[in-house]
Chain A
Amino acid sequence: MTEAIDAPEPVRLWTRASRTLAQLRPQRVGLRTRILLIFTMGFLVLSIFLAAITFSFAKSTLVNQRDRSNVEQAYRDAGVALNDLRSSPASAQPVIDTLSRLGIGFPLLNYHDDWTAGSARFGPEAVPALLKDRVLIDGVPARMIVTLDGEAVMIIGIPIPEVGAAYFEFSSLSEINSTLRSVALSLMFAGFITTLFGVVLGTVASRRVVKPLGDAAQAAKAIAGGRLDTRLETTDDHDLKLLADSFNDMASALQQRVERDARFASDVSHELRSPLMTLAASVEVMQARRDEMPERAQAALDLLVGDVIRFQGLVEDLLEISRFDAGAIRLHLEDLPVAEFVRQAIGVSSLPQTPLTVTERAERLVMHVDRRRLARVVANLIDNARLHGGGEPEAIVSEAENEGEPIGHVWIAVEDHGSGVPLDERHLIFERFARGAVAGRRSSSDGAGLGLALVDEHVRLHGGNVWVEDRLDGEPGARFVIELPAEEVRP
Chain B
Amino acid sequence: MAGVGTRILTVEDDERIRTAVKLALEDEGWTVDEAGSGEEAIELFHRGSPDVVLFDIMLPGIDGFELCRHLRKTSDVPIVMVTARADTHDVVAGLEAGADDYLTKPFAPKELSARIRALLRRIRPMSPGHSKLVFGDLEIIPDEGKVTRGGTELHLTKTEFRLLVELAHSPGRVFSRESLLDKVWGYDYFGDGRLVDVHIRRLRTKVESDAANPRHVVTVRGLGYRLQS
Contacts and interface: CB of A to CB of B under 8 A. Distances in A.
Interface of A: 270, 273-282, 284-285, 288, 312, 315, 319, 323, 329-330, 332, 334-335, 341, 344-345, 347-348, 371-372, 375
Interface string B62-101: 0000000000000000000000111100000000000000
Nearest to A371: B190
Interface stretch (B106-114, B121-129, B132-140): B106-114
A276 to B, nearest CB: 4
Return the 5 tightest CB-CB contacts between A and B, nearest first: A281-B20, A344-B189, A277-B106, A276-B106, A281-B24
Given A270-B84, A312-B106, A281 B23 contact: yes
B87 A329 contact: yes
B188 interface: yes
Contacts of B188: 344, 347-348
Contacts of A288: 27
Nearest to A336: B189
A274 B17 contact: yes
B208 interface: no
B101 to A, nearest CB: 15
B222 interface: yes
Given A276-B106, A285-B27, A344-B189, 14 more contacts: A270-B84, A275-B16, A277-B20, A277-B107, A280-B107, A281-B21, A284-B27, A285-B23, A312-B106, A332-B193, A332-B194, A344-B190, A348-B189, A371-B190
B20 A282 contact: yes
A334 B20 CA distance: 38
B187 to A, nearest CB: 11
Given A273-B84, A288-B27, A335 B222 contact: yes
Contacts of B110: 284
30 contacts: A270-B84, A273-B106, A274-B14, A274-B16, A274-B105, A276-B105, A276-B106, A277-B14, A277-B17, A278-B17, A278-B20, A280-B108, A280-B109, A281-B24, A281-B109, A282-B23, A284-B110, A285-B24, A323-B87, A329-B87, A332-B194, A344-B188, A344-B189, A344-B190, A347-B189, A348-B188, A348-B190, A371-B190, A372-B86, A375-B190
Given A277-B20, A278-B16, A371-B190, A284 B108 contact: yes
A270 B222 CA distance: 36
Interface in B6-53: 14, 16-17, 19-21, 23-24, 27
Given A274-B105, A284-B109, A344-B189, A330 B87 contact: yes
B166 interface: no
Contacts of B84: 270, 273
Nearest to A328: B87
Interface residues of B, number: 26
Contacts of B16: 274-275, 278
B223 to A, nearest CB: 11
Contacts of B20: 277-279, 281-282, 285
Contacts of A279: 20, 106
Residue among A275, A285, A330, A347 facing the most chain B CB atoms (10 A cut-off): A285
Contacts of B87: 323, 329-330
Residue among B23, B24, B84, B194 facing the most chain A CB atoms (10 A cut-off): B24
Nearest to B20: A281
Contacts of B14: 274, 277-278
A274 B15 CA distance: 10
Given A277-B21, A278-B17, A284-B27, A372 B192 contact: yes
Nearest to B19: A278
Nearest to B108: A280
Contacts of B24: 281-282, 284-285
Nearest to B23: A285
